[in-house]
Structure 1
Amino acid sequence: MTVEDDVEVRCVVQSADILGETPRWCERTKRLWWVDVRRPALQSYDPATGKHEARRLQADLMIGSIAPREAGGFVMGTNSGIYVYDPATSEPPRRIADPVGDVPGMRLNDGRCDPRGRFWVGSMHDHNRVPVGVLYRLDADHGCRAMHDGFVLPNSIAWSPDGGTMYFADTHNQTSFAFDYDLDAGTISNRRVFADWTHQLGRPDGATVDAEGYLWTCMVATGQLVRQAPDGSVDRIIQLPVTNPTCPVFGGKDLATLYITSHSQRLAPETLAVEPLAGALLALDVGVRGLPEPRFAG
């Protein structure tokens, strides 16, 4: 597979994020929203005006993921539970579930809503790479259930266009998985390896599915964006101008632009000097459109 190194990649926000993550396009606000996990900050970008805003929330609230909410604002997976927050109001974030409890070092990481508005989010230990991560499902009534466990670093939560397949990855173990997904019941079964990345340096981080049903995954450590067919075969590999892209999502007019967050954490000063886009929000056109982002129903 030839790596495409001539695709035009634009820097739309030079945000210098420490750990930019979970970009989500909001059709209501016509903005792209994402977080810097380490600052922490909830950020937005308006492609019509180029305006970038960063909202600093309380310093002890480490936001691992966000998803738009039907009632307005977002549902957020954090280090102290699941919160709802609407930046259009003056109300502070409100906790609605606490699946990880007070276990030292545990936090919630990647999260996304299924097509029926359930919020799925994975937990991890923030300091130790041990398989204590759990995949949770938050329902509209705010009931939260553990659905799978034994992961180190949960990422890449996404669904096929028909909702019948759920994707997931353990970044640390360099493995992407696929599950059969019962959309009515909100349950997973038949876990299988979708992609084994252990033969190379890159690790699968965030992912999104396009309108043709192909999975796009950001590969940390190699700076690559990989597109895979539903059968797992690699269709495209695009080289990005950052070593650590973290998560892709389609947004903008007609969901025709692919946005990508990135991180700059643990990069040496000499590396940052030659990689000025580390931590930036990037954008590129890949010739295919995305799917609307489901909203949390609760």
Structure 2
Amino acid sequence: MAKINLTVHCATGESPAWDAAARAWYWVDIPAKRVWRLDTAGKARSWDLPEMAGCVAPRARGGLIAGMETGMYDVDLFDNGTVATTLLGKPADLGAGMRFNDGRTDRQGRFWSSTMFMDMSAAKNIGQLYRYDGNGLSQPVVSGLLTQNGLSWSPDGKTMYLSDSHPKSRLVWAFDYDTATGIPSNRRVFANLADHVGRPDGAVVDADGCYWICANDAGALLRFTPQGKLDRRIDVPFAKPSMCTFGGPDLRTMIVTSIVSGKPEDAEWGGSVILLNPGVQGLADASCAF
């Protein structure tokens, strides 16, 4: 299974998303306040943002939607290297020292992301999960999160996955999901990474309905069946994989971002972005429809 290093290095690479219309991937480098784009010809370029973005997703009308430090924003990227941002909504809890983190669209094109307190050593469980749709930014949908991650949906959209990657949690939950209203219910533990390796970071569901989670600190991708059974592990060349998603014309290419660990043995690959073929097909994420 070939791993292609894109020779792009990020301090905290996060939130890769495939834009089928643009035939390109987008992702962010959080502390660098930067968004990256990679097209299918292998050309990469970046734009500087006015503040940190924890996540991005393509919008159906073009451009991106982003969860940032001060709210959710429209983000338009221009060929001359400039960026235009428009505030879509700001939750009341987004105070000093906080920002949005992991985010993804559901199968109906609603955009989801949660807030977090950036100093993880403080272990403040004040993060809250929000939905953005035709009614604007929702009230908190899930509360009490330390470091939210792992958003993804089953192929039929009726199961929502969510994780908390903080060392004090390391849990992945599943919810029943009402596709008509965008309301999750019946929260239960889907996987506890304390029983496996690493911490659960970003994730994606494949066409078989299996859930791929980046095992941060363990240098691996773990695939769980819909029943919560670990059935595959792929080791990656960096210690801290942060998020993965499928893309490419046939949705068989996986892009994986990573975080610089600061460890000498991780100096070459830490923060890299790679492409690999895991041998399964992915699903096309819906662009944000609102």
TM range (shorter): over 0.9
Q: Once the two structures are superposed, what CA deviation does each residue of 1:215-246 show, in whole Å capped at 9, x if it has no partner?
A: 11111000010111000001101111110011
Over 3 Å counting, the alpha-carbon distance change for 1:246 and 1:285 in structure 2 is: same
Q: Which residue of 1 aligns with 2:21?
A: 28
Q: Once the two structures are superposed, what CA deviation does each residue of 1:68-126 show, in whole Å capped at 9, x if it has no partner?
A: 11121111001100000121476611111001555111111011111111111111100
Over 3 Å counting, the alpha-carbon distance change for 1:217 and 1:123 in structure 2 is: same
Q: Secondary structure at the match of 1:145?
A: coil
Q: 2:274 aligns with which of 268, 282, 295?
A: 282
Over 3 Å counting, the alpha-carbon distance change for 1:70 and 1:141 in structure 2 is: farther
Q: 1:99 aligns with which of 84, 91, 94?
A: 91
Q: Percent identity?
A: 37
Where structure 2 has 5 or more consecutive residues not aligned to the other structure, the ranges are none
Aligned length: 284
* 1:9-20 paired onto structure 2 within 5 Å: 9-11=3-5, 13-20=6-13
Q: Quote the Cα distance in structure 2 between the aligned partners of 1:224 and 1:209.
A: 16
Q: Does 1:184 align with 2:180?
A: yes
1:33, 1:43 within 8 Å by CA — same for their partners in 2? yes
Where structure 1 has 5 or more consecutive residues not aligned to the other structure, the ranges are 1-6
2:71, 2:94 within 8 Å by CA — same for their partners in 1? no
Please state how far the C-alpha of 1:144 moved relative to its aligned partner.
2.3
Q: Quote the Cα distance in structure 2 between the aligned partners of 1:213 and 1:236.
A: 14
1:81, 1:100 within 8 Å by CA — same for their partners in 2? no
One-letter code aligned to 1:263: I
Q: Which residue of 2 aligns with 1:206?
A: 202
Q: 1:73 aligns with which of 51, 63, 78?
A: 63
Q: Does 1:296 align with 2:288?
A: yes
Q: Quote the Cα distance in structure 1 between the aligned partners of 2:139 and 2:172.
A: 22
* 1:183-262 paired onto structure 2 within 5 Å: 183-262=179-258
Q: Quote the Cα distance in structure 2 between the aligned partners of 1:258 and 1:23.
A: 10
Q: Which residue of 2 aligns with 1:135?
A: 129
Q: Which residue of 2 aligns with 1:41?
A: 34
Q: Which residue of 2 aligns with 1:121?
A: 113
Q: Which residue of 2 aligns with 1:267?
A: 262
1:37, 1:64 within 8 Å by CA — same for their partners in 2? yes
Q: Please list every run of at least 4 consecutive aligned residues from structure 1 whose deviation after the TM superposition is greater than 3 angstroms.
A: 88-91
Over 3 Å counting, the alpha-carbon distance change for 1:29 and 1:166 in structure 2 is: same
Q: Quote the Cα distance in structure 2 between the aligned partners of 1:148 and 1:82.
A: 17
One-letter code aligned to 1:192: R
Point out the more displaced range, 97-106 or 166-175.
97-106
Q: Does 1:52 align with 2:44?
A: yes
1:97, 1:144 within 8 Å by CA — same for their partners in 2? no
One-letter code aligned to 1:63: A
One-letter code aligned to 1:252: G
Q: Quote the Cα distance in structure 2 between the aligned partners of 1:53 and 1:217.
A: 27
